[in-house]
Amino acid sequence: MSEALLEVEKLSAGYGDARVLDDVSFRLDQGGSLALLGRNGMGKTTLLTSLIGLTRRHGGRIRLAGRDLTAVPTHRRALAGLGWVPQERDIFPSLTVEENLTAIATGGAWTLDRVYDLFPRLMERRSNMGNQLSGGEQQMLAIARALMLDPKVLLLDEPMEGLAPLIVQELFRIIQRMIERDGLAVILVEQHAHQILPLTRDAMILERGRVVYSGDSRRLIDEPALLDRWLGVGAVELDDGTSA
């Protein structure tokens, strides 16, 4: 087996003495894509924040591109290649779109032009301040900012949360392009399971902080009973944030 791009081994983590994650192990290969699923409160966000070092680790190991990140502080994990897009978006409201992007640019493969090619809307709005953007534009800017750090793995935490169906579809296609055209490794926490599973190669389901499914995304699509069992969403067909 080739060396994994990201390898998580027996990770246990949480807040203070409370363990939220218990013995979580998985690997993500170069160009891989992982849908991270589970009901609310099952540890999905905690897993992403643990990868970037914002929780208390009780045990386990994290390796990225062969480098052990387990004891590396958060800001160095970002520079090492873990790009994080939090639910809160965290853009700078008093900087323009372009300043938000260039302030953190690392001079890597993701240049301003390349990011604008992926998000033409941000180029149109490049002179607008962060606080003048709509929710959908802020989400695009949050993803674009993470790309400017030239990540090896992009961690997206419910990027569609609270957005209208048109914007959700637009963002899904942008994420599809990042995975298929740009070959970016992505871990995606998302409630729209039926929509994201065809895009990601692998899927993992967390139940009370433990991995209860780890394998092909395709299997979860083809066997709706599995999704029903862990997510209770097997009956959802037109999963666009609306109902037909």
Partner 1 sequence: MKAIDIIRNEHRALAAVLRALEATIADLRDGRRPPDFRLLAAMIDYIVRVPEEVHHPKEDGVFFPHIRAACPDAVPIIDELEHQHHRGREHVLQLAMSLIHFQAVGAAAQESFCAAAERYVAFSWTHIEMEERQLLPLLSDRLAPAAWAEIDAAFAANADPWRGTADEFERLFSRITALVPAPLGLGDRRSGLASRIT
Burial status of residue 236 (CB atoms within 10 A of its CB: 0-12, 13-18, 19 or more): middle
169 binds partner 1 (CB under 8 A): yes
Helices 135-148 and 165-180, axial angle in degrees (round to 10): 20
CB of 110 to partner 1, least distance (A): 20
Asked if residue 61 lies in contact with residue 9, where contact means CB atoms within 8 angstroms, the answer is yes
CB of 9 to partner 1, least distance (A): 32
123 binds partner 1 (CB under 8 A): no
Q: CA-CA distance, 196 to 132, in Å (whole number)?
A: 29
CB of 239 to partner 1, least distance (A): 7
Close Cβ partners of 232 (under 8 Å, ≥ 6 residues apart): 39
Selected from 75, 173, 208, 219, the binder of partner 1 by CB under 8 A is 173
CB of 166 to partner 1, least distance (A): 5
Choices 43-51, 93-101, 150-158, 216-224 (CB under 8 A): range interacting with partner 1: 216-224
67 binds partner 1 (CB under 8 A): no
The amino acid sitting at 96 is T
Query: Nearer to partner 1 by C-beta: 4 or 122?
Result: 122
Cβ count within 10 A of residue 95: 15
200 binds partner 1 (CB under 8 A): no
Phi, psi of 48 (to 5 degrees): -65, -45
195 binds partner 1 (CB under 8 A): yes
CB of 72 to partner 1, least distance (A): 37
219 binds partner 1 (CB under 8 A): no
Beta strands in 113-221 (DSSP E): 153-157, 185-189, 202-207, 210-216
Binding to partner 1 (CB under 8 A): which residues in 11-50?
A: none
Contact residues for partner 1 (CB under 8 A)?
A: 120-121, 124, 134-137, 164-170, 173, 194-195, 198-199, 221-222, 224, 237-240, 242, 244
